[in-house]
C-alpha cells in the first residue's frame, strides 16, 4: 500500500481508527507467529511494536479534529486518544511485569499475549464507541479474554476460582447492560449516543434502562454495591492480569461513564455522589483490615473508583464533560503508573516463590532490596496523594472540578476525610518495608530482572513527572 | 539560580549526592550533609543581610489549572514574617547534623537524606508565595519526619509516627479543599494577590475558609485540643528529630496562622480572636500541668512545648501590634530554647540510657559544663529577663492584655507554673547528692557537643539583650498586617452601624 493510500485510509472513512487497526493487526500477527515455525521468538517484538504503533496513532489523533466514523458507531476525538494512551500504558506495564512471572504456564505465553491484546482492543472500542451496540461489543471484547486470563494459572485453585467468579458475575453485568440498552432503545428508538443526548428520556422505561446501563458500568469499575467481586478476583488472578484489570478495565469503564454522563437525569447527582462516598469508605475500610497486598490494593482501587465517580458526578452536574474528563484522565494516568507499578512490583516479588505477598513477607524489604522498596514507597505515597507525585495533582484536579464547578464542597470534604483512612494502610506498607526488621525465615525475594527493574523505574519517573511537570501532559489535551 | 531557589534545592542536591555514596561511608555522608546545611545556613544569613527583600523574589510560570486561566507559578519570596523562620531553619540544621553522631549510628545514609529532604520542605514552606507551591512543600515535609521517627525512634515509634502523620494529614486535606475554593474565589494562586483580594472581605464570606486553614495549622502547632500527637512524636523521635520538630516544624503551624489565618482573613480572625486566645491561654496552663506530672524528662520538655506554643497563639490572636511582634519573636525563641533542651536531654540519654528524672540527681557535680548549658536553656525557657524568652513572653502578655485582659491573666499564671516545673526538674536532675552510682562515672560534654550549642546560646543572649536588632526586620510586615486588621475592625463597625441585624452578631463575637 502506498503512503498516499494509507493517508487516505486514515483520514477518510477510518479516521481515528489507527490504534484499533494496529492492535487488531498485532493480534493476527501474534497468532501467525504462534503457528509459523521459528517465529515464536518474534512474539515480544510484535507485541511491543503493536503497542508503539497504536500509541503513535493515538498521539497523531490528539491534534486532529474530532471525527465520527463507521456510521456514527465510533467517535474519534482527542479525549478518546488520551484514554487510549492510558489503556496502552496500562497494557504495557502489565505485560512487562508479566515477563518471567509465569513458570508452569510459560509455553502458553503466546496465548496470554493475544488475549491481552484482544482485551485492549475492547477497551479502545469502549472509549470511542458512539452507540450502545459498539460499546457492548467493546465490553465483551474486553471481558471474555479477561475471564480466560484470570484463570490462566489453571493449576492453581485460586486462579481458577477467580476466573470462574469473574465470568459468572461478568456475564451478569453484560446481561444488565444489554437489558438496559434494549429498554432505552424501546423507549427512544435509537442507540446512538448523539441522538440519545437530544432524545426525551424522562420516560420511566428509559430511566430504568439507564439505571441498568450505569449499574453494568459500575460493576466493571468496581463501585459499590457492585464491588464485592473485586478483592477475590484480583487476589486470585495472576498478578500481571490483576495489574491489567485494576488499571485498564477501570479506566475503560470510566471513559464511557463520562461519555454517557450527560444522558443521565439530574436526579442521579445525589444518588451517585452517595454511592461514591460509600464506595470510598468501604474500599478504604476493607483495605485497612487486609494483610495481603494484592487484596489491599484491590480494595484501595475500589476507593479510587469512588473518587473517579465523583468526577463523573461533577460532569453530570455541570454538563462540562471536557473538564471532568481532563481531571479524570489525569487521575487515571497517575493511578495507572502508581497502582500499575505497585502491582507490578508484587508480581516481581511473587515470581520466585509463588507465595502471596503480605505485610509480613515484605518486612525488612528496605534493607534487602532497597530499590524495590523505595519504588514501592513512592507508589504508596502517590496512591495516598502526597504532593510531588502524580496522585496529588490527580486528586487536586478531581476535587477542584468538584468544589469549583460542581459546587459540592461538602461531598469533597467528606470524600477527602474518608481518604485519610487510606493513609493508614499505605503507610503500613512503608512501615513494614522500612521500619520493621525482616523475619528470619522469610526467603529473600528475587533480584528483579533488568526488564522489571527498568519498568519500575519508568513508573517511578512517570509518577514524579505527573506530579511535578503537569504542563507536559495537560498540554496534550485541547 | 536565584538565592531563594538555592535555599530550597541545595538540600535536594545534597540528598542526591548522599544517595550515590557507598552505604558504609557514614562519615562521608555526615560530611556532605553538614557541608550542605552549612552552605544553606550561610545563604540564609545572606538573605538576612539583604536590605531589599523584595528584590529576591522569584516568579516564573509552572502550569495552568485545567479549565481556567489561573496560572500556578513557581513563586518564591521573603518578607519580615518568613525572614526569621528562614534564618532559624538555616542556623538550626547544621546543629542538628552535628548532633547526630551520638544517637544515629545505623542507616546513617538514609537519615541524612531525610534530614536534607526535611530542610527542603521547611525552606519551601517559608519561602513559597504561591498557594499550590506552599501546599506542595507543606505536605512533602510530613514524609521525612514520618521516616525519621519511624526508623530511628524509640520503642513506641511506629504508633507515634502513624499518629503524627494521620493527625497532620487530616488537617492538611481539609486545607486542600479550602485552598481549592480560595484559589477559585481569588482567581489566583499568588499568596500576595489572594491576601489583597480576601483581606477586605467580611466575616460571613471568609469564616469557613478561615476555619479550614486554622484547623490545619492548629493541628500542626499544636493548639489544644489537637495536641495529643505532639508528646508522643517528641518522645519517640530521635534527638535530632525532636530538635527539628520543636525548632522549625511546629513553627510551620504558627507561621501559617499568621500568614494565612490572620493576614488573609483579618475579619474572621477578629471574630475568632477571643476563642483562639482562650485556646492559647488554656494551652499554656494545661501544657504546664501536663509537664508537671511527667517523670520522663523528654516528655516533660515535649509538654512544655505545648505550653510555650500556647503563648505564641495567645500573642498572635491578640491581633495587636505588640502581640503579633511578640508572637513572632517567641516562635524563634521557642525554637532555640526548646531545641537546646532537646539537645541536652539527648546528650544525657546517650550517656545514661534513661530519661527518668528519679534516675538522676547531683549531675551538676559530675558534669559541670552540662549543668551550665542546661541552666541557660531552662532560664531562657522560663523567661528570665536578659534572655530571649523574656522578650517574647513579655510582649505577648502585654499585647494580649491590651486585647483581652482575662486571657492575659490566665496566661501569666503559666509563667509561674512554667518556672515551677522547669526549675523542679532542674533541681531533681542537677542538684542534691548523687544517689545512683552509675551517675558518678558520667563524662562531661565533649568539644563537639559544646561547639554545636554555642551558636544557640549566643542567639539566646543576643535576642535577650538586643531584641530590636531582630524585631526591626519584622516591623514593616507586622505593621502591614496590623493595618489590615484595623481596616477589618473598621469594616465590622461600619457594618454594625449600617445594618442592625448583623450588629448583634458582631457584638457577640467580640
Instruction: Characterise B275 by phi-psi region: left (phi > 0), alpha (psi -120 to 50), beta (else).
Output: alpha
Q: What is the DSSP letter of B358?
A: G
Distance from CA of B316 to the nearest CA of A (A): 28
pLDDT of residue A304: 93
Averaged pLDDT for residues B121-150? 90
Tell whether the model's pLDDT for residue A382 goes beyond 90.
yes
In the numeric block, the cell 528570665 is attached to B384
pLDDT of residue B188: 86
- A435 → closest Cβ in B151, B170, B177: B151
- B177 → closest Cβ in A320, A416, A420: A416
CA distance B19 to B111: 11
Taking the alpha carbons at both ends of chain B, their separation in whole angstroms is: 48
CB B141 within 8 A of CB B252: yes
Tell whether the model's pLDDT for residue B482 goes beyond 60.
yes
* Closest among A422, A303, A416, A381 to B175, alpha carbons compared: A416
- A388 → closest Cβ in B136, B157, B169: B136
Hey, are the CB atoms on B157 and A403 less than 8 Å from each other? no
Whether A405 has its CB under 8 Å from any CB of chain B: the answer is: yes
B141: cis peptide before it, omega within 30°? no
Hey, are the CB atoms on A412 and B177 less than 8 Å from each other? yes
CA distance A389 to A285: 24
Q: Which helix (H) or strand (E) holds B58?
A: strand B58-64
CA distance A140 to B365: 84
Distance from CA of B136 to the nearest CA of A (A): 5
* Closest among B445, B318, B311 to B374, alpha carbons compared: B445
Tell whether the model's pLDDT for residue B271 goes beyond 80.
yes
Hey, are the CB atoms on B166 and A470 less than 8 Å from each other? no
pLDDT category at B506 given cuts 50, 70, 90 is: very low
Hey, are the CB atoms on B146 and A427 less than 8 Å from each other? yes
Distance from CA of A170 to the nearest CA of B (A): 36
Tell whether the model's pLDDT for residue A201 goes beyond 80.
no
pLDDT category at B508 given cuts 50, 70, 90 is: very low
What integer best gives the mean pLDDT of chain B?
Answer: 86
Reported ipTM? 0.84
Whether A470 has its CB under 8 Å from any CB of chain B: the answer is: yes
pLDDT, tens digit (0-9, with 9 covering 90-100), for A412-452: 888 888 888 888 889 889 888 888 887 766 666 666 677 88
Sign of CA dihedral A47, A50, A56, A60: negative
B66, closest residue in chain A (CA to CA): A323
Q: Which three cell numbers stand for residue B236?
A: 519517640
Instruction: Characterise A192 by phi-psi region: left (phi > 0), alpha (psi -120 to 50), beta (else).
Output: beta
CA dihedral B236, A293, A441, A101 (to 10 degrees): -140
Averaged pLDDT for residues A336-361? 85
Tell whether the model's pLDDT for residue B505 goes beyond 50.
no
For chain B, the domains span 3-509
A397, closest residue in chain B (CA to CA): B66
Taking the alpha carbons at both ends of chain A, their separation in whole angstroms is: 32
pLDDT of residue A121: 92
pLDDT of residue A296: 92
Distance from CA of A435 to the nearest CA of B (A): 5
pLDDT category at A341 given cuts 50, 70, 90 is: very high
Averaged pLDDT for residues B448-474? 88
pLDDT, tens digit (0-9, with 9 covering 90-100), for A20-29: 888 989 999 8
pLDDT of residue B39: 93
For chain A, the domains span 266-478
pLDDT of residue A380: 93
Averaged pLDDT for residues B364-377? 88
CA distance A353 to A246: 23
Give the residue from A330, A384, A420 with the most B CB atoms within 10 Å of its CB, the best one to mutate: A420
Residue A360 three-state SS: coil
pLDDT, tens digit (0-9, with 9 covering 90-100), for B185-206: 888 888 888 888 887 787 788 8
Averaged pLDDT for residues A372-393? 90
A412, closest residue in chain B (CA to CA): B177
* Stated pTM of the model: 0.88
CB pairs under 8 A between A and B: 94
Distance from CA of B64 to the nearest CA of A (A): 7
Which residues of chain B neighbour A417 with C-beta distances below 8 Å? 170, 173-174
Whether A322 has its CB under 8 Å from any CB of chain B: the answer is: yes
pLDDT of residue A37: 81
- Please indicate whether residue B506 or residue B275 has the higher confidence score (pLDDT): B275
Which residues of chain A neighbour B174 with C-beta distances below 8 Å? 413, 416-417
pLDDT category at B256 given cuts 50, 70, 90 is: very high
Which residues of chain B neighbour A399 with C-beta distances below 8 Å? 176-177, 180
- B177 → closest Cβ in A387, A413, A423: A413
User: A270: Cβ–Cβ under 8 A, 6 or more apart, which residues?
Assistant: none
Averaged pLDDT for residues A351-367? 79
| Pairing outcome for strands A74-76 and A67-69 | antiparallel
Whether A321 has its CB under 8 Å from any CB of chain B: the answer is: no
pLDDT of residue B499: 58
Which residues of chain B neighbour A470 with C-beta distances below 8 Å? 63
What integer best gives the mean pLDDT of chain A?
Answer: 85
* Closest among A9, A10, A6, A16 to A82, alpha carbons compared: A16
pLDDT of residue B124: 92
- In chain B, pLDDT over 70 holds for what percent of residues? 97
Tell whether the model's pLDDT for residue B509 goes beyond 60.
no
- By mean pLDDT, which of A297-306, A469-478, B133-142, B176-185 is the weakest? A469-478
At A476, give phi and psi (nearest 5°). -70, -35
pLDDT, tens digit (0-9, with 9 covering 90-100), for A44-72: 888 898 899 888 888 888 777 777 777 77
Give the residue from A427, A432, A470, A472 with the most B CB atoms within 10 Å of its CB, the best one to mutate: A427
CA distance B233 to B231: 6
Hey, are the CB atoms on B181 and A404 less than 8 Å from each other? yes
- Angle (deg, nearest 10), helices A157-188 and A229-236: 140
Hey, are the CB atoms on A431 and B66 less than 8 Å from each other? no
CB B56 within 8 A of CB B77: yes
Residue A112 three-state SS: helix
Q: What is the secondary structure of B307-325 as a DSSP string?
A: HHHHHHHHHHHH-SHHHHH
Hey, are the CB atoms on A401 and B67 less than 8 Å from each other? yes
CA A295 distance to own-chain centroid: 16
Whether A414 has its CB under 8 Å from any CB of chain B: the answer is: no
Amino acid at each position: 500500500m502506498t503512503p498516499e493510500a494509507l493517508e487516505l485510509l486514515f483520514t477518510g472513512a477510518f479516521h481515528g481508527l489507527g490504534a484499533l487497526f494496529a492492535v487488531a493487526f498485532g493480534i493476527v500477527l501474534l497468532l501467525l507467529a504462534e503457528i509459523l515455525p521459528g517465529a515464536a521468538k518474534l512474539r515480544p517484538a510484535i507485541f511491543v511494536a503493536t503497542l508503539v504503533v497504536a500509541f503513535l496513532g493515538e498521539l497523531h489523533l490528539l491534534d486532529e479534529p474530532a471525527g465520527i466514523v463507521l456510521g456514527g458507531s465510533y467517535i474519534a476525538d482527542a479525549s478518546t486518544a488520551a484514554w487510549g494512551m492510558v489503556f496502552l500504558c496500562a497494557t504495557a506495564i502489565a505485560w512487562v511485569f508479566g515477563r518471567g512471572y509465569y513458570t508452569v504456564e510459560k509455553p502458553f505465553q503466546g496465548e496470554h499475549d493475544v488475549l491481552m491484546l484482544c482485551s485492549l482492543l475492547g477497551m479502545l472500542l469502549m472509549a470511542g464507541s458512539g452507540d450502545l451496540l459498539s460499546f457492548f461489543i467493546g465490553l465483551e471484547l474486553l471481558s471474555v479474554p479477561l475471564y480466560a486470563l484470570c484463570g490462566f494459572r489453571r493449576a492453581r485453585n485460586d486462579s481458577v476460582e477467580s476466573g470462574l467468579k469473574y465470568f459468572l458475575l461478568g456475564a451478569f453485568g453484560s446481561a444488565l447492560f444489554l437489558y438496559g440498552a434494549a429498554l432505552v432503545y424501546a423507549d427512544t428508538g435509537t442507540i446512538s449516543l448523539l441522538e440519545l443526548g437530544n432524545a426525551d428520556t424522562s420516560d420511566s422505561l428509559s430511566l430504568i434502562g439507564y439505571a441498568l446501563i450505569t449499574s453494568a458500568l459500575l460493576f466493571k469499575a468496581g463501585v459499590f454495591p457492585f464491588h464485592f467481586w473485586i478483592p477475590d478476583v484480583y487476589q486470585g488472578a495472576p498478578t500481571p492480569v490483576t495489574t491489567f484489570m485494576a488499571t485498564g478495565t477501570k479506566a475503560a469503564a470510566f471513559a464511557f461513564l463520562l461519555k454517557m454522563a450527560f444522558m443521565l437525569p439530574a436526579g442521579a447527582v445525589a444518588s451517585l455522589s452517595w454511592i461514591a462516598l460509600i464506595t470510598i469508605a468501604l474500599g478504604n475500610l476493607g483495605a485497612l483490615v487486609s494483610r495481603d497486598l494484592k487484596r489491599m490494593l484491590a480494595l484501595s482501587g475500589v476507593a479510587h473508583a469512588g473518587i473517579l465517580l465523583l468526577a463523573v458526578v461533577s460532569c453530570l452536574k455541570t454538563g462540562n464533560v471536557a473538564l471532568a474528563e481532563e481531571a479524570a484522565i489525569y487521575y487515571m494516568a497517575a493511578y495507572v503508573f502508581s497502582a500499575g507499578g505497585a502491582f507490578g512490583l508484587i508480581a516481581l516479588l511473587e515470581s520466585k516463590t509463588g507465595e502471596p505477598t503480605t505485610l509480613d513477607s515484605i518486612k525488612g524489604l528496605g534493607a534487602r532490596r532497597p530499590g524495590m522498596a523505595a519504588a514501592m514507597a513512592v507508589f504508596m505515597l502517590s496512591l495516598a496523594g502526597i504532593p510531588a507525585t502524580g496522585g496529588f495533582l490527580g486528586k487536586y484536579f478531581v476535587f477542584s472540578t468538584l468544589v469549583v464547578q460542581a459546587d459540592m464542597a461538602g461531598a469533597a470534604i467528606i470524600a477527602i476525610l474518608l481518604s485519610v483512612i487510606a493513609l493508614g494502610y499505605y503507610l503500613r506498607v512503608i512501615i513494614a518495608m522500612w521500619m520493621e526488621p525482616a523475619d528470619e525465615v522469610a526467603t529473600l525475594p528475587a533480584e528483579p530482572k533488568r526488564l522489571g527493574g527498568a519498568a519500575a523505574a519508568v513508573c517511578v519517573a512517570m509518577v514524579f513527572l505527573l506530579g511535578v511537570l503537569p504542563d507536559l501532559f495537560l498540554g496534550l489535551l485541547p | 539560580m536565584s538565592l531563594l531557589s538555592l535555599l530550597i534545592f541545595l538540600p535536594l542536591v545534597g540528598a542526591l549526592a548522599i544517595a550515590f555514596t557507598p552505604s558504609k561511608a557514614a562519615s562521608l555522608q555526615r560530611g556532605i550533609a553538614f557541608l550542605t546545611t552549612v552552605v544553606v545556613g550561610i545563604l540564609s544569613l545572606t538573605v538576612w543581610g539583604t536590605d531589599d527583600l523584595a528584590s529576591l523574589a522569584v516568579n516564573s510560570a509552572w502550569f495552568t489549572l485545567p479549565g481556567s486561566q489561573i496560572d500556578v507559578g513557581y513563586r518564591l519570596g521573603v518578607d519580615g514574617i518568613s525572614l526569621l523562620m528562614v534564618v532559624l531553619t538555616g542556623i538550626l540544621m547544621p546543629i542538628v547534623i552535628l548532633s547526630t553522631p551520638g544517637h544515629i549510628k545505623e542507616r546513617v545514609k538514609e537519615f541524612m537524606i531525610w534530614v536534607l529532604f526535611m530542610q527542603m520542605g521547611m525552606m519551601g514552606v517559608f519561602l513559597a508565595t504561591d498557594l499550590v507551591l506552599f501546599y506542595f512543600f507543606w505536605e512533602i515535609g510530613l514524609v521525612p519526619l514520618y521516616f525519621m521517627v519511624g526508623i530511628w525512634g524509640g520503642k513506641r515509634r511506629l504508633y507515634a509516627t502513624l499518629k503524627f502523620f494521620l493527625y497532620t494529614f487530616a488537617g492538611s486535606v481539609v486545607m486542600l479543599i479550602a485552598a481549592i475554593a480560595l484559589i477559585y474565589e481569588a482567581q489566583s494562586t499568588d499568596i500576595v494577590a489572594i491576601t489583597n483580594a480576601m483581606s477586605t472581605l467580611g466575616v460571613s464570606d471568609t469564616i469557613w475558609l478561615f476555619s479550614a486553614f486554622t484547623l490545619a495549622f492548629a493541628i500542626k502547632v499544636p493548639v489544644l485540643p489537637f495536641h495529643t500527637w505532639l508528646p508522643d512524636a517528641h518522645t519517640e523521635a530521635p534527638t535530632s528529630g525532636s530538635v527539628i520538630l520543636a525548632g522549625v516544624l511546629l513553627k510551620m503551624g504558627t507561621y501559617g496562622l499568621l500568614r494565612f489565618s490572620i493576614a488573609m482573613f483579618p475579619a474572621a480572625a477578629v471574630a475568632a480572636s477571643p476563642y483562639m486566645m482562650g485556646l492559647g491561654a488554656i494551652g499554656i496552663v494545661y501544657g504546664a500541668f501536663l509537664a508537671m506530672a511527667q517523670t520522663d524528662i523528654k516528655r516533660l520538655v515535649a509538654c512544655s512545648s505545648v505550653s510555650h506554643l500556647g503563648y505564641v497563639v495567645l500573642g498572635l490572636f491578640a491581633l495587636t501590634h505588640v502581640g503579633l511582634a511578640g508572637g513572632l519573636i517567641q516562635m524563634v525563641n521557642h525554637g532555640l530554647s526548646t531545641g537546646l533542651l532537646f539537645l541536652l536531654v539527648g546528650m544525657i540519654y546517650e550517656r545514661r540510657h534513661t530519661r527518668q528524672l528519679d534516675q538522676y540527681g547531683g549531675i551538676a557535680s559530675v558534669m559541670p559544663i552540662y549543668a551550665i548549658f542546661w541552666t541557660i536553656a531552662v532560664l531562657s525557657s522560663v523567661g528570665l529577663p536578659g534572655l530571649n524568652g523574656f522578650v517574647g513572653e513579655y510582649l505577648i502578655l502585654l499585647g494580649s492584655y491590651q486585647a483581652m485582659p482575662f486571657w492575659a491573666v490566665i496566661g501569666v499564671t503559666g509563667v509561674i507554673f512554667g518556672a515551677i516545673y522547669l526549675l523542679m526538674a532542674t533541681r531533681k536532675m542537677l542538684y542534691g547528692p548523687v544517689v545512683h552510682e552509675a551517675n558518678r562515672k558520667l563524662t562531661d560534654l565533649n568539644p563537639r557537643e559544646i561547639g554545636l550549642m554555642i551558636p544557640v546560646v549566643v542567639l539566646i543572649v543576643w535576642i535577650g539583650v538586643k531584641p530590636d536588632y531582630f524585631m526591626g526586620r519584622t516591623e514593616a510586615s507586622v505593621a502591614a498586617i496590623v493595618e489590615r486588621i484595623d481596616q477589618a475592625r473598621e469594616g465590622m463597625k461600619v457594618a454594625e452601624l449600617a445594618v442592625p441585624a448583623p450588629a448583634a452578631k458582631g457584638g457577640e463575637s467580640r
